Amino acid sequence: MSRFISCEAGRLEPYTPGEQPVDMQYVKLNTNESPFPPSPKVVKAVSQAELLKLNLYSDPTCGQLTRAIARRYELKPEQVLAGNGSDELLSFAFRAFCGKGKSVAFPDVSYGFYKVWAAFYGIEANVVPLKADFTIDVDDYMDDHGTIVLANPNALTGVELPTAQIQRLLEADRDRVVIVDEAYVDFGGESCVPLLCRYDNLLVVQTFSKSRNLAGGRLGFALGDSDLIADLNRVKYSFNPYNVNRLSIVAGAAAMEDEAYFQKCTAAIQKTRTWTTKTLEELGFTVLPSRANFVFAASKSFPNGELYRKLKENGILVRWFDEDRIRDFYRITIGSSEQMEQMVEEIKKLLGEM
Ligand SMILES: Cc1ncc(COP(=O)(O)O)c(C=O)c1O
């Protein structure tokens, strides 16, 4: 830290993103990206004509993209806000719905950014332990009248919370906002989008980074009652009005409109997830039931980060968190079937050496 840093910035505990190494080519199974390229329609949409418009600012309303998202989810454009990754929209939501006297609650094992944003904005955080089996019990949140944020399926674990349980939370206190982070919902999860017409205290946040193969395009979207979206816009226009660049707007609209490609890619991931889960279980791993594009798995043969380190030496990256409760687990992105076979072969070799 320099001697110029403010007290506020000095106190921050930044989020640690998954490794993005450039020293060598890894089989990258550590940041839940898609192994498939963007839709061919996206490649076409990001044309030279669009590139030649980069001297001009992008549309601050992201009209083309917002309309494509609204059509896909059968909502009004006023119920949609696009952002520079869903991270940006979640951060806007923390600012919009939490503050003095308005706390935020989330599970202890979940997306690591929630506690970072709470600290960034000086919001009181109520961190609620998951049950021993890594499930969420919504009764643990019933007496909390601040904002609640739940990743569903949960990040890190991949475990799904039935939407009927989320509905109980929405019903129990209509004056509390429930943010459902559906970054991984397209891999077989149940979405809360159909509940939007009944609950004006529900905000659903999704991303183009996983199921729509556009992590590098940095695109996410929030869906909710038009008043909630107006609140998010208030934050956005106080921070970065041109938050989505021209190329990502056209890329996102094309990705959203290519339903067939989306279905094909997400189905392939689910099939590979089933194979990976079964194979890891046969090798003695405990694998939590996942509805995401990753599995969360532990093995007595590889405690405390051992598998992460050994695989990395052999050119395969998975994610390991040196944190209480999950120190013996590995979060493994579901890549292509070839990538998963390569990882399994490497694990078999390591087991053979023991
Ligand atoms: C649960 C969850 N929410 C949000 C994000 C952010 O995604 P992005 O900013 O790429 O849209 C991630 C990224 O991995 C995630 O795991």
Does residue 32's CB lie within 6 angstroms of at least one atom of ligand 1? yes
Tokens of 180: 């459902």
Both tokens of 306, joined, read 């051992």
State residue 177's pLDDT score: 98
156 shares a domain with 210 = yes
CA pair distance 26, 316, nearest whole angstrom: 5
Last residue of a domain, one of 215, 232, 257: 257
Question: What percent of the chain stands above pLDDT 70?
Answer: 100
Residue 231 domain-assigned? yes
Examine the domain organization and report whether 67 and 32 are in the same domain.
no
User: Which is more confident, 239 or 22?
Assistant: 239
My answer on whether 114 and 132 are in the same domain is yes
Asked if residue 266 has its Cβ within 6 Å of ligand 1, the reply is: no
Over residues 84-110, the mean pLDDT reads 97
For residue 22, the model assigns a pLDDT of: 80
* Whether the CB of 201 sits within 6 Å of ligand 1: no
Instruction: Identify the residue whose C-alpha is closest to ligand 1 atom 7.
Output: 86
Q: For ligand 1, say whether the CB of 209 is within 6 Å of any of its atoms.
A: yes
Which residue minimizes the CA distance to atom 12 of ligand 1?
A: 183
Last residue of a domain, one of 257, 277, 302: 257
2 inside domain:
no
Which of 233, 257, 281 is the last residue before a domain boundary?
257
Same domain for 95 and 167, yes or no, is yes
9 membership: H or E segment, kind and range: helix 7-10
* Residue 3 domain flag: no
- 32: CA distance to ligand 1 center in Å? 9
Q: What is the pLDDT of residue 353?
A: 78
Encode pLDDT of 278-290 as tens digits: 999 999 999 999 9
Q: What is the pLDDT of residues 225-257, one digit of tens each?
A: 999 999 999 999 999 999 999 999 999 999 999
Percent of the chain with pLDDT over 90: 95
| pLDDT for position 19 | 83
Same-domain status, 224 and 134: yes
pLDDT at 330: 98
Q: Are residues 180 and 295 in the same domain?
A: no
DSSP string covering 79-117: GEEEESSHHHHHHHHHHHH-BTTB-EEEESSS-THHHHH
Nearest CA to ligand 1 atom 16: 155
Q: Is the CB of 119 under 6 A from ligand 1?
A: no
Does the pLDDT at position 295 exceed 80? yes
Question: Domain with 265 in it: what CATH number?
Answer: 3.90.1150.10
CA distance 122 to 125: 9
Q: Residue 324 is which amino acid? A: D
**Is 108 inside a domain boundary?**
yes
Residue 146 Cβ inside 6 Å of ligand 1? The answer reads: no
Q: What is the domain extent for residue 303?
A: 8-37+260-352
Q: Within this chain, do residues 297 and 234 fall inside the same structural domain, yes or no?
A: no
Q: Do 202 and 237 lie in a common domain?
A: yes
- Regarding whether 73 and 18 lie in a shared domain, the answer is no
Q: What's the gap in Å between 348 CA and the centre of ligand 1? A: 31
CA dist 305 and 94 (Å) reads 32
Residue 247 and residue 171 share a domain: yes
- Total domains in the chain come to 2
CA of 8 to the centre of ligand 1 (A): 25
Residue 354 has pLDDT above 80, yes or no: no
| 335 — pLDDT class (breaks 50, 70, 90) | very high
Determine the distance separating the centroid of ligand 1 and the alpha carbon of 16, expressed in angstroms: 13
| One domain for residues 211 and 311 | no
Q: What is the pLDDT of residue 17?
A: 87
Q: Identify the pLDDT of residue 24.
A: 75
pLDDT of residue 21: 83
Residue 149: which CATH number? 3.40.640.10
